[in-house]
Amino acid sequence: MKKMLLATAALTAVAALALSGCSTRSDDSGSASGSTDAAAAGFPADSLIGVALPSKTSENWVLAGGLFEDGLAEAGFKSDVQYAGASTTVKDQQDQISAMITKGAKAIIIGAADGGQLATQVQAAADAGIPVIAYDRLILNTPNVDYYVAYDNFKVGELQGQALLDGMKAKKPTGPYNIELFSGSSDDANSAVFFDGAMSVLQPAIDSGDVVVVSGQTDIKQTATAGWKAENAQSRMDSLLTSSYGSAELDGVLSPNDTLARAIITSVKAAGKPIPIVTGQDSEVESVKSIMAGEQYSTINKDTRNLVKQAIAMVSELQKGEEVDVNDTESYDNGVKVVPAFLLDPVIVTKENAAEAYANDPTLEPLTQQ
């Protein structure tokens, strides 16, 4: 219950404006009857499945598209996998989902470009009897999300916060420790969940004075990185170093993902300062190389292969009219309903356990053999 409340608070913060005008539930359960009825009935085994993904801002999104195409074909489905463009991301995705409905997709998997701006499209899907699976990012403010599949994002934040503390203590046994906080894009519902998870670990240390945020920027609105763009993180880190670290030592930086972590490290190097403990997420190739080189401290292993596999398994269950396997029915409140979820376990990775963590990954395993 505590986790559900934290996740709900995070989502409310991300989508406060949208929540002010949210619609009422379509029935007592908060589910749209059209898609629920369709899911119970099943559909032909060779049906079209729509997959709407955001722009290619990180390696895991690029990888996911190919995995969905191959995996859905192997499962006997036709697929329509689309990426939103970088400049008109939200409108692109809205149009793509609408087109998938028109083409007769029997289920739609959505990695939301902006989880707060898809209510109209998922309502149309529900009206057409098409079940919707939110992939990796929760879709907000609508009863018409049937399932959610993701890694446990609150736990991701907890792991990042603990890794930051552990890394700083290993490098410098006694504090206090000076840190800065970064969070993801404000249009991504996961950003607040990651941040709240990390702060659940870091806040007690901040309150006790063992950890000091020198800039004073601890609110998620201050720490957000628009569009998850590396240049935005690097620019903010440049400003923080100039304004707050003339003579002060920077011990650690909470970075929500690997792309931003590398940008932060680039900024620190350019300023001629020692590289602090920097967290990350996604196990991107360049960040794994950086970890093995002793620069970036940690990442999170969220194997995209397993996430895509689970999403396709849910589609297969829907196709057969079977009960969809979920393992969490209370943690992810999107502002209108608690969405039934299947959550996978994330794994913290540092140089010490990288070889073990990537032992079965053909791309990353060779990078850890030192």
pLDDT at 189: 86
Q: Look at residues 227, 159, 217 and name the one whose alpha carbon lies nearest to residue 193.
A: 159
CA 125 to chain CA mean position, Å? 23
User: Per residue in 103-157, pLDDT tens?
Assistant: 999 999 999 999 999 999 999 999 999 999 999 999 999 999 999 999 999 999 9
Domains of the chain, with CATH numbers? 2-151+304-344 (3.40.50.2300), 153-302+349-368 (3.40.50.2300)
pLDDT at 41: 74
**Spans of the chain below 50 pLDDT:** 1-34
Could you tell me the pTM of the whole model?
0.82
Taken in order 8, 11, 16, 19, the sign of the CA dihedral is negative
Mean pLDDT taken over the chain: 90
User: Per residue in 257-301, pLDDT tens?
Assistant: 999 999 999 999 999 999 999 999 999 999 999 999 999 999 999
| Interatomic CA distance for residues 126 and 143, integer angstroms | 9
| Interatomic CA distance for residues 57 and 72, integer angstroms | 23
| Interatomic CA distance for residues 151 and 157, integer angstroms | 11
Specify the DSSP class assigned to residue 310: H
Is there a contact between 151 and 307 (Cβ–Cβ < 8 Å)? yes
- Provide the token pair at 330: 């209370």
Is there a contact between 72 and 93 (Cβ–Cβ < 8 Å)? no
| Interatomic CA distance for residues 131 and 316, integer angstroms | 12
Is there a contact between 294 and 275 (Cβ–Cβ < 8 Å)? no
Work out the number of other CB atoms within 10 angstroms of the CB of residue 258: 29
